Structure 1
Amino acid sequence: MTLKTPNFTGWRAVVLSEADGNTDRLRRQLGLLGVSVAVQWTPLSAADLPDLVLIDADRGWDELLPFSDAAPACPVVALLGSEAPGRIAWALRHGAGAIIPKPVSAATVYPALVLAVSLHEERLEARRRIAHLEERLKLRPLVFAAVKRLAAERHIDEERAYAILRDCAMRRRLPIEQLAAFFLGGSESLREVG
Protein backbone atom coordinates (compact mmCIF):
# COMPACT_ATOMS: atom_id res chain seq x y z
CA MET A 1 0.00 0.00 0.00
CA THR A 2 1.41 3.35 -1.01
CA LEU A 3 0.88 5.95 1.64
CA LYS A 4 0.73 9.58 0.74
CA THR A 5 0.26 12.60 2.91
CA PRO A 6 -3.40 13.59 2.71
CA ASN A 7 -4.66 17.04 1.84
CA PHE A 8 -7.35 17.93 4.36
CA THR A 9 -8.85 20.82 2.41
CA GLY A 10 -12.62 20.45 2.30
CA TRP A 11 -12.78 17.79 5.03
CA ARG A 12 -15.39 17.94 7.78
CA ALA A 13 -14.34 17.24 11.35
CA VAL A 14 -16.29 16.89 14.57
CA VAL A 15 -14.59 17.53 17.87
CA LEU A 16 -16.41 15.62 20.59
CA SER A 17 -15.49 17.71 23.58
CA GLU A 18 -16.76 20.51 25.73
CA ALA A 19 -15.70 23.88 24.33
CA ASP A 20 -12.51 25.14 26.00
CA GLY A 21 -9.07 26.44 25.13
CA ASN A 22 -8.10 23.10 23.58
CA THR A 23 -11.08 23.11 21.23
CA ASP A 24 -10.31 26.73 20.31
CA ARG A 25 -6.72 25.79 19.36
CA LEU A 26 -7.97 22.74 17.46
CA ARG A 27 -10.57 24.76 15.57
CA ARG A 28 -7.96 27.34 14.61
CA GLN A 29 -5.35 24.77 13.52
CA LEU A 30 -7.86 22.64 11.61
CA GLY A 31 -9.16 25.76 9.90
CA LEU A 32 -5.63 26.52 8.69
CA LEU A 33 -5.58 23.03 7.16
CA GLY A 34 -8.85 23.70 5.31
CA VAL A 35 -11.01 21.56 7.59
CA SER A 36 -14.47 22.73 8.62
CA VAL A 37 -14.99 22.01 12.32
CA ALA A 38 -18.00 21.42 14.54
CA VAL A 39 -17.60 21.09 18.29
CA GLN A 40 -20.20 19.13 20.22
CA TRP A 41 -20.48 17.23 23.47
CA THR A 42 -23.39 15.05 22.41
CA PRO A 43 -23.28 11.64 20.75
CA LEU A 44 -22.28 11.55 17.10
CA SER A 45 -24.98 10.45 14.67
CA ALA A 46 -24.24 7.40 12.54
CA ALA A 47 -26.31 8.94 9.76
CA ASP A 48 -24.11 12.02 9.39
CA LEU A 49 -20.52 10.93 9.94
CA PRO A 50 -17.78 13.48 9.28
CA ASP A 51 -14.51 12.77 7.51
CA LEU A 52 -12.65 12.88 10.82
CA VAL A 53 -13.48 12.66 14.54
CA LEU A 54 -11.43 14.12 17.36
CA ILE A 55 -12.64 12.96 20.76
CA ASP A 56 -11.85 13.93 24.34
CA ALA A 57 -10.65 10.55 25.58
CA ASP A 58 -10.25 11.83 29.15
CA ARG A 59 -13.98 12.30 29.57
CA GLY A 60 -15.52 10.36 26.67
CA TRP A 61 -18.09 7.62 27.10
CA ASP A 62 -19.02 4.71 24.84
CA GLU A 63 -22.21 6.22 23.40
CA LEU A 64 -20.39 9.30 22.06
CA LEU A 65 -19.35 7.33 18.99
CA PRO A 66 -21.69 5.19 16.86
CA PHE A 67 -18.92 2.59 16.45
CA SER A 68 -16.50 0.73 18.70
CA ASP A 69 -14.28 -2.33 18.79
CA ALA A 70 -11.50 -0.53 16.93
CA ALA A 71 -13.53 -0.58 13.69
CA PRO A 72 -14.24 3.11 13.22
CA ALA A 73 -16.22 4.32 10.24
CA CYS A 74 -13.85 7.28 9.86
CA PRO A 75 -10.42 8.26 11.21
CA VAL A 76 -10.40 8.97 14.95
CA VAL A 77 -7.94 11.09 16.92
CA ALA A 78 -8.00 11.03 20.72
CA LEU A 79 -7.42 14.16 22.78
CA LEU A 80 -5.69 12.96 25.92
CA GLY A 81 -4.35 14.81 28.92
CA SER A 82 -3.97 11.92 31.33
CA GLU A 83 -1.72 8.90 31.35
CA ALA A 84 -4.42 6.67 32.81
CA PRO A 85 -4.16 3.23 31.19
CA GLY A 86 -7.95 2.91 31.21
CA ARG A 87 -8.40 6.11 29.19
CA ILE A 88 -5.73 5.07 26.69
CA ALA A 89 -7.39 1.66 26.37
CA TRP A 90 -10.77 3.38 25.88
CA ALA A 91 -9.32 5.49 23.04
CA LEU A 92 -7.80 2.43 21.36
CA ARG A 93 -11.00 0.43 21.77
CA HIS A 94 -12.85 3.18 19.91
CA GLY A 95 -10.41 3.15 17.02
CA ALA A 96 -8.13 6.07 17.79
CA GLY A 97 -5.32 6.06 15.27
CA ALA A 98 -3.41 8.88 16.94
CA ILE A 99 -3.33 10.94 20.11
CA ILE A 100 -3.07 14.70 20.48
CA PRO A 101 -1.85 15.49 23.99
CA LYS A 102 -3.62 18.15 26.01
CA PRO A 103 -3.04 21.00 26.26
CA VAL A 104 -3.24 21.04 22.47
CA SER A 105 -0.19 22.39 20.66
CA ALA A 106 -0.48 23.49 17.03
CA ALA A 107 2.55 21.37 16.08
CA THR A 108 0.85 18.12 17.17
CA VAL A 109 -2.35 18.43 15.12
CA TYR A 110 -1.22 17.77 11.55
CA PRO A 111 1.02 14.75 12.34
CA ALA A 112 -1.79 13.20 14.40
CA LEU A 113 -4.26 13.66 11.54
CA VAL A 114 -1.87 12.08 9.05
CA LEU A 115 -1.25 9.10 11.36
CA ALA A 116 -4.95 8.59 12.07
CA VAL A 117 -5.91 8.74 8.39
CA SER A 118 -3.07 6.40 7.38
CA LEU A 119 -3.97 3.88 10.06
CA HIS A 120 -7.65 4.08 9.14
CA GLU A 121 -6.84 3.37 5.47
CA GLU A 122 -4.64 0.43 6.48
CA ARG A 123 -7.45 -0.97 8.64
CA LEU A 124 -9.93 -0.65 5.77
CA GLU A 125 -7.54 -2.39 3.39
CA ALA A 126 -6.92 -5.17 5.91
CA ARG A 127 -10.67 -5.67 6.37
CA ARG A 128 -11.15 -5.85 2.57
CA ARG A 129 -8.36 -8.40 2.23
CA ILE A 130 -9.67 -10.50 5.09
CA ALA A 131 -13.18 -10.46 3.62
CA HIS A 132 -11.77 -11.51 0.23
CA LEU A 133 -9.76 -14.34 1.79
CA GLU A 134 -12.72 -15.49 3.86
CA GLU A 135 -14.84 -15.61 0.71
CA ARG A 136 -12.20 -17.67 -1.08
CA LEU A 137 -11.97 -19.95 1.94
CA LYS A 138 -15.72 -20.55 1.82
CA LEU A 139 -15.35 -21.63 -1.81
CA ARG A 140 -12.54 -24.12 -1.09
CA PRO A 141 -15.00 -27.06 -0.91
CA LEU A 142 -15.80 -26.34 -4.58
CA VAL A 143 -12.13 -26.68 -5.45
CA PHE A 144 -11.90 -29.91 -3.47
CA ALA A 145 -14.99 -31.31 -5.22
CA ALA A 146 -13.66 -30.29 -8.64
CA VAL A 147 -10.31 -31.95 -7.91
CA LYS A 148 -12.06 -35.16 -6.83
CA ARG A 149 -14.26 -35.19 -9.94
CA LEU A 150 -11.40 -34.38 -12.31
CA ALA A 151 -9.26 -37.10 -10.72
CA ALA A 152 -12.08 -39.63 -11.14
CA GLU A 153 -12.88 -38.61 -14.74
CA ARG A 154 -9.25 -38.59 -15.94
CA HIS A 155 -8.05 -41.49 -13.77
CA ILE A 156 -5.26 -39.40 -12.23
CA ASP A 157 -4.25 -38.68 -8.66
CA GLU A 158 -5.60 -35.65 -6.79
CA GLU A 159 -2.28 -33.83 -6.89
CA ARG A 160 -2.23 -33.98 -10.70
CA ALA A 161 -5.92 -33.01 -10.87
CA TYR A 162 -5.26 -29.96 -8.70
CA ALA A 163 -2.29 -28.98 -10.89
CA ILE A 164 -4.50 -29.19 -14.00
CA LEU A 165 -7.19 -27.07 -12.38
CA ARG A 166 -4.65 -24.54 -11.15
CA ASP A 167 -2.89 -24.30 -14.53
CA CYS A 168 -6.19 -23.80 -16.37
CA ALA A 169 -7.22 -21.09 -13.93
CA MET A 170 -3.87 -19.33 -14.36
CA ARG A 171 -4.02 -19.56 -18.16
CA ARG A 172 -7.53 -18.11 -18.21
CA ARG A 173 -6.73 -15.58 -15.50
CA LEU A 174 -9.60 -16.75 -13.34
CA PRO A 175 -9.62 -17.54 -9.64
CA ILE A 176 -9.32 -21.29 -9.16
CA GLU A 177 -12.57 -21.23 -7.19
CA GLN A 178 -14.43 -19.73 -10.15
CA LEU A 179 -13.02 -22.26 -12.60
CA ALA A 180 -13.92 -25.07 -10.18
CA ALA A 181 -17.51 -23.78 -10.03
CA PHE A 182 -17.70 -23.68 -13.85
CA PHE A 183 -16.31 -27.21 -14.08
CA LEU A 184 -18.71 -28.60 -11.47
CA GLY A 185 -21.62 -26.75 -13.06
CA GLY A 186 -20.91 -28.43 -16.39
CA SER A 187 -20.16 -25.26 -18.31
CA GLU A 188 -16.45 -26.08 -18.45
CA SER A 189 -14.84 -29.35 -19.46
CA LEU A 190 -11.18 -28.27 -19.25
CA ARG A 191 -10.60 -29.59 -22.77
CA GLU A 192 -7.26 -27.89 -23.25
CA VAL A 193 -5.53 -30.33 -20.91
CA GLY A 194 -5.11 -34.09 -20.98
Structure 2
Amino acid sequence: MTTRTPNFTGWRVTVLSEEDGNTDRLRRQLGLLGMAVTIQWTPLAGTDVPDLVLIDADRGWDELLPFSDALPACPVVALLGSEAPGRISFALRHGAGAIIPKPVAASAVYPALVLAVSIHAERAEAARRIAHLEERLKLRPLVFAAVARLKAERHVDDERAYAILRDCAMRRRMSIEQLAAVFLGGSETLREVG
Protein backbone atom coordinates (compact mmCIF):
# COMPACT_ATOMS: atom_id res chain seq x y z
CA MET A 1 0.00 0.00 0.00
CA THR A 2 1.51 3.29 -1.05
CA THR A 3 0.69 6.10 1.32
CA ARG A 4 1.16 9.77 0.61
CA THR A 5 2.51 11.96 3.35
CA PRO A 6 -0.58 13.75 4.67
CA ASN A 7 -1.02 17.50 4.84
CA PHE A 8 -2.34 18.15 8.33
CA THR A 9 -3.59 21.67 7.64
CA GLY A 10 -7.12 22.02 8.98
CA TRP A 11 -7.10 18.74 10.91
CA ARG A 12 -8.73 18.68 14.33
CA VAL A 13 -6.58 16.99 16.95
CA THR A 14 -7.49 16.21 20.54
CA VAL A 15 -4.74 15.69 23.08
CA LEU A 16 -6.01 13.63 26.02
CA SER A 17 -3.61 14.74 28.71
CA GLU A 18 -3.29 17.08 31.64
CA GLU A 19 -1.72 20.38 30.67
CA ASP A 20 2.03 20.50 31.26
CA GLY A 21 5.26 21.23 29.42
CA ASN A 22 4.64 18.33 27.03
CA THR A 23 1.23 19.63 26.03
CA ASP A 24 2.70 23.12 25.54
CA ARG A 25 5.29 21.72 23.11
CA LEU A 26 2.60 19.63 21.38
CA ARG A 27 0.24 22.60 21.03
CA ARG A 28 3.01 24.68 19.46
CA GLN A 29 4.22 21.94 17.09
CA LEU A 30 0.72 20.86 16.03
CA GLY A 31 -0.19 24.50 15.46
CA LEU A 32 2.82 24.88 13.17
CA LEU A 33 1.43 21.95 11.15
CA GLY A 34 -1.85 23.85 10.74
CA MET A 35 -3.87 21.70 13.14
CA ALA A 36 -6.64 22.91 15.45
CA VAL A 37 -5.68 21.59 18.90
CA THR A 38 -7.93 20.74 21.83
CA ILE A 39 -6.35 19.61 25.07
CA GLN A 40 -8.59 17.87 27.59
CA TRP A 41 -8.32 15.40 30.43
CA THR A 42 -11.89 14.19 30.16
CA PRO A 43 -13.24 11.30 28.07
CA LEU A 44 -13.56 11.87 24.35
CA ALA A 45 -17.19 11.99 23.25
CA GLY A 46 -18.03 9.21 20.82
CA THR A 47 -20.20 11.58 18.79
CA ASP A 48 -17.49 14.13 18.01
CA VAL A 49 -14.39 12.19 17.04
CA PRO A 50 -11.52 14.43 15.84
CA ASP A 51 -9.25 13.69 12.89
CA LEU A 52 -6.46 12.54 15.23
CA VAL A 53 -6.07 11.71 18.92
CA LEU A 54 -2.97 11.89 21.07
CA ILE A 55 -3.36 10.18 24.43
CA ASP A 56 -1.19 10.18 27.55
CA ALA A 57 -0.68 6.44 27.82
CA ASP A 58 1.22 6.77 31.09
CA ARG A 59 -1.82 8.04 32.97
CA GLY A 60 -4.75 7.22 30.68
CA TRP A 61 -7.69 5.01 31.55
CA ASP A 62 -9.99 2.96 29.32
CA GLU A 63 -12.94 5.36 29.34
CA LEU A 64 -10.85 8.21 27.88
CA LEU A 65 -11.44 6.83 24.39
CA PRO A 66 -14.81 5.61 23.09
CA PHE A 67 -13.07 2.71 21.33
CA SER A 68 -10.79 -0.12 22.43
CA ASP A 69 -9.92 -3.58 21.14
CA ALA A 70 -11.26 -2.55 17.76
CA LEU A 71 -10.27 -0.35 14.88
CA PRO A 72 -10.24 3.17 16.32
CA ALA A 73 -12.42 5.77 14.64
CA CYS A 74 -9.35 7.91 13.90
CA PRO A 75 -5.55 7.61 14.06
CA VAL A 76 -4.19 7.43 17.62
CA VAL A 77 -0.73 8.42 18.88
CA ALA A 78 0.38 7.48 22.39
CA LEU A 79 2.41 9.85 24.55
CA LEU A 80 4.63 7.53 26.55
CA GLY A 81 7.41 8.12 29.03
CA SER A 82 7.20 4.75 30.75
CA GLU A 83 8.53 1.37 29.71
CA ALA A 84 5.89 -0.43 31.78
CA PRO A 85 4.36 -3.31 29.80
CA GLY A 86 0.89 -2.41 31.07
CA ARG A 87 1.14 1.13 29.67
CA ILE A 88 2.42 -0.14 26.32
CA SER A 89 -0.44 -2.65 26.29
CA PHE A 90 -2.88 0.19 27.04
CA ALA A 91 -1.57 2.11 24.02
CA LEU A 92 -1.83 -0.90 21.72
CA ARG A 93 -5.30 -1.85 23.00
CA HIS A 94 -6.54 1.62 22.11
CA GLY A 95 -5.15 1.47 18.58
CA ALA A 96 -2.02 3.58 18.87
CA GLY A 97 -0.22 3.51 15.55
CA ALA A 98 2.77 5.45 16.85
CA ILE A 99 4.40 6.67 20.04
CA ILE A 100 5.79 10.07 20.91
CA PRO A 101 8.24 9.64 23.80
CA LYS A 102 8.01 11.97 26.78
CA PRO A 103 9.42 14.46 27.30
CA VAL A 104 8.11 15.53 23.91
CA ALA A 105 10.71 16.62 21.37
CA ALA A 106 9.41 18.74 18.48
CA SER A 107 11.26 16.55 15.99
CA ALA A 108 9.31 13.45 17.11
CA VAL A 109 5.83 14.83 16.46
CA TYR A 110 5.52 14.94 12.66
CA PRO A 111 6.99 11.45 12.00
CA ALA A 112 4.70 9.95 14.65
CA LEU A 113 1.63 11.60 13.12
CA VAL A 114 2.53 10.37 9.62
CA LEU A 115 3.13 6.85 10.93
CA ALA A 116 -0.13 6.78 12.91
CA VAL A 117 -2.16 7.99 9.92
CA SER A 118 -0.51 5.43 7.65
CA ILE A 119 -1.04 2.57 10.11
CA HIS A 120 -4.68 3.60 10.63
CA ALA A 121 -5.28 3.61 6.86
CA GLU A 122 -3.68 0.17 6.50
CA ARG A 123 -5.76 -1.21 9.37
CA ALA A 124 -8.96 0.21 7.85
CA GLU A 125 -8.13 -1.29 4.45
CA ALA A 126 -7.36 -4.67 6.03
CA ALA A 127 -10.66 -4.56 7.96
CA ARG A 128 -12.53 -3.71 4.74
CA ARG A 129 -10.89 -6.62 2.90
CA ILE A 130 -11.60 -9.03 5.72
CA ALA A 131 -15.26 -7.96 5.84
CA HIS A 132 -15.51 -8.45 2.06
CA LEU A 133 -13.94 -11.91 2.25
CA GLU A 134 -16.15 -12.90 5.18
CA GLU A 135 -19.21 -11.85 3.19
CA ARG A 136 -18.06 -13.92 0.22
CA LEU A 137 -17.39 -16.85 2.55
CA LYS A 138 -20.96 -16.66 3.88
CA LEU A 139 -22.22 -16.92 0.30
CA ARG A 140 -20.10 -19.96 -0.60
CA PRO A 141 -22.97 -22.40 0.08
CA LEU A 142 -24.85 -20.67 -2.76
CA VAL A 143 -21.95 -21.41 -5.09
CA PHE A 144 -21.94 -25.07 -4.07
CA ALA A 145 -25.71 -25.27 -4.60
CA ALA A 146 -25.41 -23.60 -8.02
CA VAL A 147 -22.65 -26.02 -9.02
CA ALA A 148 -24.81 -28.97 -7.92
CA ARG A 149 -27.77 -27.64 -9.92
CA LEU A 150 -25.63 -27.11 -13.03
CA LYS A 151 -24.23 -30.63 -12.68
CA ALA A 152 -27.73 -32.07 -12.58
CA GLU A 153 -29.17 -29.91 -15.38
CA ARG A 154 -26.23 -30.13 -17.79
CA HIS A 155 -24.87 -33.56 -16.84
CA VAL A 156 -21.33 -32.29 -16.26
CA ASP A 157 -18.76 -32.87 -13.51
CA ASP A 158 -17.91 -30.48 -10.65
CA GLU A 159 -15.06 -28.80 -12.50
CA ARG A 160 -17.10 -28.10 -15.63
CA ALA A 161 -20.08 -26.82 -13.63
CA TYR A 162 -17.85 -24.46 -11.67
CA ALA A 163 -16.16 -23.31 -14.91
CA ILE A 164 -19.57 -22.50 -16.40
CA LEU A 165 -20.50 -20.48 -13.34
CA ARG A 166 -17.13 -18.70 -13.26
CA ASP A 167 -17.18 -17.88 -16.99
CA CYS A 168 -20.71 -16.49 -16.77
CA ALA A 169 -19.78 -14.36 -13.77
CA MET A 170 -16.76 -12.98 -15.61
CA ARG A 171 -18.78 -12.15 -18.72
CA ARG A 172 -21.40 -10.33 -16.66
CA ARG A 173 -18.79 -8.71 -14.41
CA MET A 174 -20.38 -10.07 -11.28
CA SER A 175 -18.91 -12.02 -8.43
CA ILE A 176 -19.44 -15.74 -8.68
CA GLU A 177 -21.47 -15.56 -5.46
CA GLN A 178 -23.82 -12.93 -6.93
CA LEU A 179 -24.34 -14.96 -10.07
CA ALA A 180 -25.00 -18.12 -8.04
CA ALA A 181 -27.69 -16.27 -6.07
CA VAL A 182 -29.33 -14.99 -9.26
CA PHE A 183 -29.16 -18.45 -10.86
CA LEU A 184 -30.58 -20.22 -7.82
CA GLY A 185 -33.30 -17.57 -7.50
CA GLY A 186 -34.60 -18.79 -10.83
CA SER A 187 -34.33 -15.52 -12.71
CA GLU A 188 -31.41 -16.77 -14.84
CA THR A 189 -30.71 -19.98 -16.70
CA LEU A 190 -27.17 -19.12 -17.80
CA ARG A 191 -28.09 -19.56 -21.47
CA GLU A 192 -24.94 -17.91 -22.79
CA VAL A 193 -22.70 -20.79 -21.69
CA GLY A 194 -22.83 -24.26 -23.24
TM-score range, shorter chain: over 0.9
The aligned counterpart of 1:43 is 43
Superposed CA RMSD in Å reads: 0.7
CA contact (8 A) 1:70 1:96 kept: no
Query: How many corresponding residue pairs?
Result: 194
1-structure distance, mates of 2:13, 2:179: 46
Which amino acid is 2:184 matched to?
L
The aligned counterpart of 1:13 is 13
Deviations 1:37-96 (A, max 9, x none): 010000100011100000000000000000001421100000000111111111001100
Which amino acid is 1:96 matched to?
A
- SS in structure 2 of the partner of residue 79 of structure 1: strand
2-structure distance, mates of 1:70, 1:143: 31
Alignment of 1:55-94 (within 5 A): 55-94=55-94
The aligned counterpart of 1:134 is 134
CA contact (8 A) 1:12 1:51 kept: yes
Which amino acid is 2:42 matched to?
T
The aligned counterpart of 1:157 is 157
Percent identity of the aligned residues? 84
Which structure 2 segments of 5+ residues have no match? none
Q: CA deviation at 1:20?
A: 0.2
CA contact (8 A) 1:183 1:189 kept: yes
Residues 1:115 and 2:111 aligned together: no
Which amino acid is 1:155 matched to?
H
2-structure distance, mates of 1:163, 1:48: 50
Runs of 4+, deviation exceeding 2 Å: none
2-structure distance, mates of 1:72, 1:32: 26
Which structure 1 segments of 5+ residues have no match? none
